[in-house]
Amino acid sequence: MKIIDGGVTAAKGFKAASTAAEIKYKGRTDMAMVFSEVPCVAAGTFTTNVVKAAPVRWDQDIVYNHPGARAVICNSGIANACTGEEGFGYCRETAKAASESLGIPEDSVLVASTGVIGMQLPIDRIANGVKAMAPKLEGSREAGLEAAKAIMTTDTEKKEAAVEIEIGGKTVTVGGMCKGSGMIHPNMCTMLGFITSDVDISKELLQEALSEDIKDTYNMVSVDGDTSTNDTVLLLANGQAGNPKITEKNADYEEFKKALNYVNTTLAKKIAGDGEGATALFEVKVIGAATKAEAVTLSKSVVTSSLTKAAIYGHDANWGRILCAMGYSGAQFDPEVVDIWLESKAGTIKIVENGIATDYSEETATKILSEEEVIAKMDIKEGNETATAFGCDLTYEYVKINGDYRS
């Protein structure tokens, strides 16, 4: 697998464009379009929140009930959630504008929105934005990068990833972009992800690969414990790589899954590290669990603990908060055998052994916790299962941003 510089335009046959439609923001782009030159098979995973935004319901129908897709239209600023039939109608009107501008069927257009809940989209601006983007579509690196910037809300940086692999003697590319900074606690976050690939694969296996992979990637991210109404990950594959079509779970399928996992893991970590107001990416690794479910439960309990997140912000090795969060997780374990380490570029330190503090240096621990990426690792010594959750520290800035989000 070769890691490359790229995003949604890295794979053959995919183009992107962006524009400033002034949906909510002024002086910046706020709409993006991703387009495939040929029909794609499409897969998707969506929020489990009972309150589902109109674009989620639209995309679920396209992904589950239609053979393929050609385009994705995304706007930032307004989420089109809790907007009733009027909001759902705007999804249809967006697809219609794309159909007319691109010469493709309405039911091959996927839509996505992110931003403030409860506001209606200014559909005239959306439609004009679609028409403005269509002639600007390019397969260039720059076009993909600008699309990634256009979908940002409170994000502080664009989020992209891409890799190349070889399947059947052909180069296959998987690339993607995402946005997400606050209201991030996915269970398929506001988290939107768009992955493109030129792999030739059946729709059924594409969906299975995505559905399995999000369990260890996006669904292991938490910034603030709030599951969004708009969470969506879309995966499009157009077959332009020319590889032998993947129709069974063979070595080619496993190779594609590895590439997909790299892209999704990279994007998930970028979301966590760019949490609203965050100063550090906080990874929590649980090893030695009896079951995968137990490892997931424990790691997510620690990564979502407000007290632990605050300690990470303060560079404070307050390991009691970690053990406490493990204890109320619902998972069963023996606290008297637990080992805990803290890790970063500055080094590794074991702070708990068999449930009791080691004679560690607070100065060294603080130095380790002062890096931009920090890891807490816990061994519960019950088996061989592991899980890693991704989060961030909790800062004053998070409260400031969300105390005035609608302004």
In a domain, 353, yes or no: yes
114 C-beta neighbours (distance < 10 Å), count: 31
In a domain, 225, yes or no: yes
Axis-axis angle for helices 123-133, 84-102 (nearest 10)? 20
168 C-beta neighbours (distance < 10 Å), count: 15
* 288 lies in the same domain as 239: no
In a domain, 407, yes or no: no
Active-site option among 83, 154, 190, 265? 190
* 238 lies in the same domain as 346: no
* 156 lies in the same domain as 50: yes
In a domain, 345, yes or no: yes
**Measured at the alpha carbon of residue 153, what is the angle toward residues 149 and 158, in degrees to the nearest 5?**
30
* 195 lies in the same domain as 318: no
For 285, the domain range is 281-402
* 355 lies in the same domain as 269: no
Amino acid, res. 32: A
In a domain, 154, yes or no: yes
* 221 lies in the same domain as 297: no
* 127 lies in the same domain as 18: yes
Residue spans of the chain under pLDDT 70:
181-190, 222-228, 275, 402, 404-407
pTM: 0.82
User: Domain containing 300 — which CATH number?
Assistant: 3.10.20.340
* 140 lies in the same domain as 241: yes
* 203 lies in the same domain as 326: no
The structure tokens 């296996």 sit at: 205
Q: How far apart are the first and last CA of the chain?
A: 44
pLDDT in tens, 81-93: 999 999 999 999 9
Contact between 18 and 133 under an 8 Å Cβ cutoff? The reply is yes
324 C-beta neighbours (distance < 10 Å), count: 17
Is residue 190 among the annotated active site residues? yes
CB within 8 A of 306, min separation 6: which ones? 394
DSSP codes of every residue in 214-236: TTTTGGGB-SSSPPPS--EEEEE
The structure tokens 């400033």 sit at: 20
* 32 lies in the same domain as 15: yes
Question: Quick one: pLDDT at residue 228?
Answer: 60
Q: What is the CA radius of gyration of the chain?
A: 22
Query: Of the residues 220, 253, 273, which one is the last residue of a structural domain?
Result: 273
Contact between 400 and 182 under an 8 Å Cβ cutoff? The reply is no
* 336 lies in the same domain as 392: yes
* 221 lies in the same domain as 292: no
Number of domains in the chain: 2
Query: Of the residues 241, 273, 305, which one is the last residue of a structural domain?
Result: 273
Q: Encode 38-67: b = buried (16+ Cβ within 10 Å), e = exposed.
A: ebbbbbbbbbebeebbbbbebbeebbeeee
User: Domain containing 156 — which CATH number?
Assistant: 3.60.70.12
Query: Of the residues 249, 273, 297, which one is the last residue of a structural domain?
Result: 273
CB within 8 A of 274, min separation 6: which ones? 155, 156, 157, 159, 180, 181, 392
Question: Quick one: pLDDT at residue 47?
Answer: 84
Q: How far apart are CA 115 and CA 230, in angstroms?
A: 9
The residue ranges of DSSP E strands in 198-280, in sequence order, are 232-237
Using alpha carbons, select from 213, 234, 197 the residue that is nearest to residue 44: 234
